[in-house]
Structure 1
Amino acid sequence: MGEPIMEELEFLVEILEKHPLDSLKKIAEEEGIDYYRLKRLYDKYYGKYLTVSAFVSLKRLGLRTYVAFLTVPPDRLLEVGIRMSQNPFIGYMNPGYGFKNGLSIIFYTPDDQRDKIDEFLSQYADDYEYYEARAYPYDGDDNFGNWDLSYDYAPLLDILKWDARTPITEIARELGKSRPTVRYMINRLREEDILLEFVPMIDMNVHDRAVIGLTKELDESVLERFKEYEIMVGVLPGYGYIFEWYFSSKEDLGSKVLEFSGYVEKLLIEYFEPTFKELNDKNARTRYARMVKKDGSGYRSILEF
């Protein structure tokens, strides 16, 4: 399959933002779009470059998010990546080169397991640095919940995170539940502010590179200056801020990277390689089912894997 046409992909994203779970026929009727045109675009991109994902409150579930940068020799990158991909608390990992040469990762830690982070990371590298990451702007709320659901909700969250447009009939079959029971479970997740919304997500591998920048002071003009690019900003409590800027290696962005570096103290280039995408995707598909204890009593240890 060839490269995605970004105008088509962005059009489909806009449509699914308004109608994340509706059928294509209903969307076409409500938006006045030719059904066959919509279906061609959907078949071309959905599940390959774009999916609708459930946006879940990690804070309500008692999970803290961290970014980490590990020094790993080039000849050990794949070995360490494979081992990391066995751990459901690893959100994703990719090769990265800059202020640390090795792996750039996102990981999740149950609120009551923060004291295990150094032991956790030292399983994969001797040299590393990590930071807790929060949404920008930072509200300062430090009130984390916990896992207080039955185990059945864990695989349900996996399905909704992977593809929220999965038919109820298929979800019911996978969970061994009736369709009314699945609907009840989804409604409960909404009522308890765990399931917040459904969002169309472009696969980050549409872009094959990212610039990660860390800074102690935020110059908000960078967001305006680089607004034509896809830049995300997060807060690193106790340190400062993190920028992540996605782009394609086919673009000649050397001068922009140099300009961008003027806004941060630490800079790293992240590489979205196909092998790591496969490892990340496989890990993500059953993340909650492996994180949560079978009796539903809470999370397993981040050191178990």
Structure 2
Amino acid sequence: MGEVKLEEIEFLVELLSKYPLESLRSIAREEGLDYYKLKRIYDKYYGKYLTVSARYNIRIIGLKSFVAFLAVSPESLLETAIQLTKNPFIKYVNPAFGFKNGLSLYFQVPHDQVDLIDEMLGKYSDDFEYYEVRAYTKGELPDEWGDWDLGYEYAILMDILKWDARTPITEIAEKLGKSRPTVRYMINRLKEKGILINFVPLPDMNVSDRGIIGIAKELDEEVLKRFNDYEITVGVLPGEGYILEWFFSSKEDMGSKILEFSRYVEKILVEYFDPTFKELNDRNSRMAFQRMVKKDGSGYRSILEF
């Protein structure tokens, strides 16, 4: 496949941010690029280190986001992760060590099942902590939640678009047993309801194989300026503070990064993006919506079923 070059991935991310669903020929024509050079870069990275994914407003379909940190013994890490990634409501699981040694989780829960979280996590560990997490915005987010009110076929469609939004319409139609115009109608309906926000290119964890997670009661605006040129995300923990995650490569000096990052947070933890765990996460997420939603489309299954 050749050497992985971050500048080529960044180039592809920039292009697919502007043209997430357009054909390569259209992109090359619009940008005045050599089609065959673009295709070589695309074939080298797309689907391996980068995919275009649908971004959804899960609030409208009644889901709340959470992060959790479970204490798990080293010898039980993989076994516990295998069990956790059988649950489609759990979006990813990774080994993590710091203020809690074991596993870090990101999961989504129907708003009327939040009171079941302790019971769900208690199946895997006696020592855990979790926080609701929301997008970091300047304004206040409404504390209102919808419900799943779509047919089951929409769950399948949402999985396809989440996994690879560049999947051809013809292929989607075959998977759904629908016509191409019907698929386009369904996609437009998701947009009109505000569920489907946009399509974004997502670099894979193979690019960054480490992450530092920090929790802070207050957000120092300096941290956003200081790490402006790095891959860092910020989330709001309602009533608790903020969560920050900094992604980097294991080839870099982790000690200095922890020292630098610890100035801005009260609790810190190092997350490892292991290929084995990635395989488990990918397998779990590929058909997550259609496993979360009841076959009759009447709502969500229980988070305790898995």
Query: Residue 187 and residue 118 in structure 1: after superposition, are their counterparts in 2 closer, same or farther (change >3 A)?
Result: same
Q: Which residue of 2 aligns with 1:190?
A: 191
Q: Distance in 2 between matches of 1:112 and 1:51?
A: 32
* Paired residue type of 1:202: P
Q: Which residue of 2 aligns with 1:218?
A: 219
Q: Distance in 2 between matches of 1:256 and 1:296?
A: 46
Q: How does 1:208-247 map to 2 (within 5 A)?
A: 208-247=209-248
Q: Distance in 1 between matches of 2:300 and 2:66?
A: 17
Q: Which residue of 2 aligns with 1:166?
A: 167
Q: Which residue of 2 aligns with 1:133?
A: 133
**2:91 aligned counterpart, secondary structure:** strand
Q: Distance in 2 between matches of 1:304 and 1:174?
A: 26
Once superposed, which parts of structure 1, at least 4 consecutive aligned residues long, lie more than 6 Å away? Answer: none
Q: Distance in 1 between matches of 2:208 and 2:123?
A: 30
Q: Which residue of 2 aligns with 1:268?
A: 269
Q: Distance in 1 between matches of 2:250 and 2:188?
A: 42
Q: Distance in 1 between matches of 2:242 and 2:223?
A: 12
Q: Distance in 1 between matches of 2:211 and 2:259?
A: 14
Q: Which residue of 1 aligns with 2:180?
A: 179
Deviations 1:189-220 (A, max 9, x none): 01110111010111123111000000101101
TM-score normalised over the length of structure 2: 0.98
Q: Which residue of 2 aligns with 1:121?
A: 121
2:302 counterpart of 1:301: yes
Alpha-carbon shift at residue 2 of structure 1 (Å): 5.0
Q: How does 1:192-207 map to 2 (within 5 A)?
A: 192-207=193-208
Alpha-carbon shift at residue 177 of structure 1 (Å): 1.0
**2:299 aligned counterpart, secondary structure:** coil
**1:152 aligned counterpart, secondary structure:** helix
* Paired residue type of 2:260: E
Q: Distance in 2 between matches of 1:139 and 1:16?
A: 30
Q: Could you list the runs of 5+ residues in structure 2 that have no partner in the other structure?
A: none
- The count of corresponding residues between Structure 1 and Structure 2 is 305
* Paired residue type of 2:251: K
* Paired residue type of 1:43: D
**1:69 aligned counterpart, secondary structure:** strand
Q: Distance in 2 between matches of 1:281 and 1:118?
A: 25
**1:301 aligned counterpart, secondary structure:** coil
Q: Distance in 1 between matches of 2:254 and 2:102?
A: 22
TM-score normalised over the length of structure 1: 0.98
Q: Could you list the runs of 5+ residues in structure 1 that have no partner in the other structure?
A: none
Deviations 1:20-54 (A, max 9, x none): 00000011111100000100000000000000000
Q: Distance in 1 between matches of 2:111 and 2:16?
A: 33
* Paired residue type of 1:21: L
Q: Distance in 2 between matches of 1:279 and 1:122?
A: 21
Alpha-carbon shift at residue 234 of structure 1 (Å): 0.5
* Paired residue type of 1:94: N
* Paired residue type of 1:284: S
Superposition RMSD in Å = 0.9
**2:115 aligned counterpart, secondary structure:** helix
Q: Which residue of 2 aligns with 1:25?
A: 25
* Paired residue type of 2:7: E
* Paired residue type of 2:58: L
Q: Distance in 2 between matches of 1:259 and 1:19?
A: 36
Query: Residue 3 and residue 303 in structure 1: after superposition, are their counterparts in 2 closer, same or farther (change >3 A)?
Result: farther
Alpha-carbon shift at residue 4 of structure 1 (Å): 2.0
